[in-house]
Amino acid sequence: SSGASPRAPAKSGGGKAAKGGPRTKRVRFTREEVEALLTGYRKYHGSTNMWATILDKYRHVFQNRTSVDLKDKHRNLVKVGEA
């Protein structure tokens, strides 16, 4: 067992690094990141490469995040009714 708690914070980086490297430390999304994600989603929803576009337009907010991090966070916000 990895010993990870089911209440571990949201990841930044998606588990194991390429080539079987060490796991990246999970970093919670800040309130500013969540607000930028939701604003970007409303603005760019349905556009081609939406998550990459949001990441690019709000690069000053999303330090060390990937478009997959944004997608996963949005999915989790929808799941708990916050998006």
Please tell me the distance from the alpha carbon of residue 83 to that of residue 41, in angstroms, as a whole number. 9
The position carrying tokens 């800040």 is: 30
Poorest-pLDDT segment among 14-23, 28-37, 59-68: 14-23
Please tell me the distance from the alpha carbon of residue 24 to that of residue 51, in angstroms, as a whole number. 21
Lookup: tokens for 15? 């588990």
- Record the pTM: 0.72
Query: At 61, is the pLDDT very low, low, confident or very high (cuts 50, 70, 90)?
Result: very high
Whether pLDDT at 54 is above 70: yes
Please tell me the distance from the alpha carbon of residue 30 to that of residue 3, in angstroms, as a whole number. 25
